[in-house]
Amino acid sequence: MSVPVLSLPLNDPAFVRDPYPLLARLREETPALRDPALNRVFLTRHADISAVLRDRTRFGRSALHRYSRDELGWPPPDPARANFDAFNGNHLLDSEPPKHTRLRSLVGLAFTPRRVEALSSRIEALLARQLAKVGADGFDLVAQYAEPLPVTVIAELLGVPQGERHHLRPWSAAIVRLYEPTHTAGEQAEAERAVLEFSALLRDLARLRRHDPQDDLITALVQAEDGGDRLSERELIDTCILLLNAGHEASVNGLSAGVLALLRQPEHWRTLAQAAPHQGSLPLFRTAAEELLRYDTPLPLFERYVLEEVDLFGETLRPGEKVGLLYASGNRDPRRFERPDELNLTRDPNPHLTFGLGIHYCLGAPLARLELALSLRALARAFPDLRLPDPDAEPEYVGGFVIRGLRRLDVVAG
């Protein structure tokens, strides 16, 4: 018996604003569904999504490491997106072994947990400086707090000069629009331009660092060596673009959605505000960050390509077809989480899917977690009486369901 055929309204503003009622109904009715317009089978339950993420034999982030485009029945590449496709096919996230193994080993030599944790004091200083700029009578938390930090942290981590940093957010926003299942020709052209411009900047910086090393990630990536193997210039550039896009979008959307969830349930904000001034409070904020990433998933949908013919709930899938993994649905699955629609800031364990599983587990997860925990604590210390000016107002989201982020979040100090 084949899976149900249904249409997912991924670009419907009402669904993007609150996907959880529909996802809950679908999750209880069926573990999988096919959307003919999007030509994908979507999985709704935590266990099935987890199984696909861990199955390296039958599913992957790419299929072109095993098959040609002709063998898969894919059309020729679109020359209008050649630079985006070259970037997307070359970085760590969309590579498969043995290329993925090699890239992850080399990048891991430079992007270490120690380097991330060493950023703590710098992140706290940046947060304090940003909070000093906002108005206590009211401000847009997205533009004035959530967005500046990840861009600045990634820029400082990479070693991007101050005068070039204003480009990073627009470049990231343009590139990630192409990860939505549907996009316009104009958005495609903007992404192409962003890849070219960002690549040119990084190429210049990499060449400078080879002759004049600095204490930054680009220098570390230039110098990373494993048994005589090094990153090529193109691999280094695409790795840096990926770090900006993945780290920035998840951090901005995770913090904004997390604060919205907390302020809609003010007792949870009061819990954090009471803890924030105390020494030793960071573990609570780390646990709270994990729960917020589960409760309102900042990147709700990821995909895998089928690598071998496989039967999913009676649906035969062939190599090159796509499987949509509804992380936002799996993260609310009552089969895996007790009272999943409730916000529990001390939930432990918390096996959410937000950073993926298996070999493609997010390399930047430690940085995203640190940024979110420190950002929440700094905000709760500065504004313990933070609230929404109109708790009943419907938030507006930018983009679609894949890169799901608030357009703005107006808050007042008390």
DSSP-assigned letters across all residues of 4-65 = PB----TT-HHHHH--HHHHHHHHHH-SEEEETTTTEEEE-SHHHHHHHHH-TTTEES-STT
Is residue 344 classed exposed, middle or buried when 0-12, 13-18 and 19+ CB atoms within 10 A define those classes? Answer: middle
DSSP-assigned letters across all residues of 102-148 = HHHHHHHHHS-HHHHHTTHHHHHHHHHHHHHHS-TT-EEHIIIIITH
* Cβ proximity of 168 and 247 under 8 Å: no
* Cβ proximity of 201 and 76 under 8 Å: no
Catalytic residue among 249, 290, 291, 321: 249
Amino acid of residue 387: R
Going by C-alpha positions, the residue among 355, 346, 372 that lies closest to residue 258 is 372
Residue 117 annotated as catalytic: no
Catalytic residue among 62, 95, 251, 329: 251
Residue 147 annotated as catalytic: no
Residue 174 annotated as catalytic: no
Q: Which residues pair with 302 in a beta bridge?
A: 325
The Cα 104–Cα 100 span in angstroms is 6
Catalytic residue among 62, 273, 371, 375: 371
Residue 29 annotated as catalytic: no
Catalytic residue among 32, 146, 206, 246: 246
Strands in 322-326's sheet, in edge-to-edge order, are: 32-35, 40-43, 322-326, 301-306, 59-60
Long-range contacts of 149-155 (CB under 8 A, 24+ apart): 149/123, 149/251, 149/371, 149/375, 150/247, 150/248, 150/251, 150/252, 150/371, 151/244, 151/248, 152/126, 153/119, 153/122, 153/123, 153/126, 153/247, 153/367, 153/371, 154/243, 154/244, 154/247, 154/248
Residue 371 annotated as catalytic: yes
The residues annotated as belonging to the active site are 246, 249, 251, 362, 371
